[in-house]
Amino acid sequence: MPPSSLRVVYAFAREMHPKTSEVFIQYGTAGFRTKANLLEHVVYRMGLLAVIRSRVKNGRTIGIMITASHNLEPDNGVKLIDPDGEMLEQSWEEIATRLANVSDNDLESTTEQIIKEVNADMALKASVFIGMDTRYTSPRLAAAAVHGVIALKGTPKEFGIVTTPILHYCVRCRNDNTYGTPTEEGYYEKIVGAFKNIREKLPVGGEYTTTLYVDGANGVGGKKLNIIKKSLGDELDLVLYNLGGNGGKLNLNCGADFVKVSQQAPVGVEHKPWQRVASLDGDGDRIVYYYLDDKEKMHLLDGDRIATLLASYITQLLSACGAQLRLGLVQTAYANGASTQYITQQLKVPVTCVKTGVKHLHHAAQAYDIGVYFEANGHGTVLYSENAKNTIKKIAEEGEVEQRKSAGLLLQYIEMTNETVGDALSDLFLVETALCARGQGARQWMQAYTDLPCRQLKVTVQDRNAISTTDAERVCTSPEGLQTRIEELVSGYSSGRAFVRPSGTEDVVRVYAEADTQQSADKLSAEVAQAVFDLAGGVGSRPELPA
């Protein structure tokens, strides 16, 4: 593409999407995320970058998702989706950051530099899929993305309001038609169709009931479940709350993140004792479960619990069909120590611990024949290698009668899984299938192991880069003396564990602690926070130890 044809890049920026803020913005695990009014020029430029990325990938389709996920309504964000439905390749995060922050006057020359750097053939066709969440700012931002795609002569296709995982799925299908049909309807046919097929083969019994309450976080996930609900028949009775009406605000006092962090039931949900409730997040890529007991105490079934349930059920099916495959589970340091112990000692499943961030978990899960990964916040999925799929398919066709039956169930379970990214809707169906197969309600699921009490705190510091870590963020390497102090503090508590890590987005240090009682976990976290404050340049008031 000759330089003269790049002039439209500047023209679109100047006339329609000018950079009006000097606030520096960085591409992270979740893409760009900030107040929506600071994002229009950024999203326009991501339209440009998506076209360049598509051409580097020989014209394969790239995705742009407009969402701020579990953040509150005034925020918004944008992230790019690579051809296989995965997160943007990490080496391109710096390119995205550079393009987002240059002045309008330098935009044309920077775009030209990037095209040369990545050796993009600008004569190739380029395809970009665009989706958005339910925020009132999303349509305007989606329009900016479209203009960015058009400015570099790419072809945009708008999907309107979809969950983030549906767009990931559609991008994957567009580039690999063996995975499915690249439409929202194709997604339902694959995921929901597999759920209905598998549930027809599973009798409902034991403590399991087909009624499931769902907190939709006043976002897109609840709206899509409302569409799906009609096709489920007697297999699953969804009772939906927080669908965005009656003045409910997106993610405000509801949704997966609120439930996980506050350890409180969301507003807007009517509860019965022991009734299973699933809470989605605003863009439908996270899910946690909980129930209230007869004293209205909340019992949380988070990402760790979901991971152990799915790994346990898949292990059961693998054993029944005789498949010799390596299944592993991937966690972060935030996973409760009791879950790790249960997985390794009871399930006899290997565990890999990685740095916080879905891209790290996803890549580590690919090392196994079957890799289960979840963050404690409820974001995760299961990945199956081609070897695993072929092995199970062969058993389903050629094995003994009982082996064929179990392999057939596992093939439907694979079909029900959105392997591209964590998906609240797909994960919901995976959980409900595992519980039904075992005749378990939420209480029986909870009884698999007992979580260690834990506490998370954050300490404001002058510069978060003063903190460095290693060993999947479990060991602090700087400032000098901090790790030694943490180890001294931990040694004073039964079942004690603690780590610190710098935030990826703000000048705070996150502190996590576990111990045998809640009082001890609270005290240990406060003592570690105080050590961080003293040794890493704390700002403001010192952390207070609990009385």
| 283 marked as part of a ligand binding site | yes
| 189 marked as part of a ligand binding site | no
Q: Name the residue among 96, 81, 90 with its Cα closest to residue 174.
A: 81
| 369 marked as part of a ligand binding site | no
- Residue identified by tokens 């001890």 is 520
CB 163 within 8 A of CB 283: yes
What the block records as the tokens of 317 is 């099916």
CB 44 within 8 A of CB 147: yes
Q: Is 69 an active-site residue?
A: yes
Strands in 3-60 per DSSP E: 32-35
**What distances in angstroms separate CA 523 from CA 320, 512, 534, one per listed residue?**
46, 11, 17
| 515 marked as part of a ligand binding site | no
| 376 marked as part of a ligand binding site | yes
DSSP string, 79-115: EEE-TTSPBPPGGGHHHHHHHHHS-HHHHHHHHHHHH
User: Which pairing describes strands 211-215 and 127-132: parallel, antiparallel, or unpaired?
Assistant: unpaired
Eight-class DSSP state of 369: S
| 503 marked as part of a ligand binding site | yes
What the block records as the tokens of 307 is 């991971």
| 54, 69, 339, 525: the active-site residue | 69
> Over 406-475, what HEC string results?
HHHHHHHHHHCCCCCCCCHHHHHHHHHHHHHHHCCCHHHHHCCCCCCCEEEEEEEECCHHHCEEECCCCE
CB 429 within 8 A of CB 416: yes
| 485 marked as part of a ligand binding site | no
| 501 marked as part of a ligand binding site | yes
Q: Name the residue among 196, 171, 194 with its Cα closest to residue 184.
A: 171
CA–CA gap between residue 9 and residue 523 (Å, rounded): 55
| 510 marked as part of a ligand binding site | yes
What the block records as the tokens of 350 is 């290997």
CB 172 within 8 A of CB 129: no
H or E stretch at 12 = helix 7-15
H or E stretch at 501 = strand 497-502
| 377 marked as part of a ligand binding site | yes
| 285 marked as part of a ligand binding site | yes
Residues annotated in the binding site for Mg(2+), as ranges? Answer: 69, 281, 283, 285
Active-site residues, by number, are 69
Residues annotated in the binding site, as ranges? Answer: 69, 281, 283, 285, 375-377, 501-505, 510
Residues annotated in the binding site for substrate, as ranges? Answer: 375-377, 501-505, 510
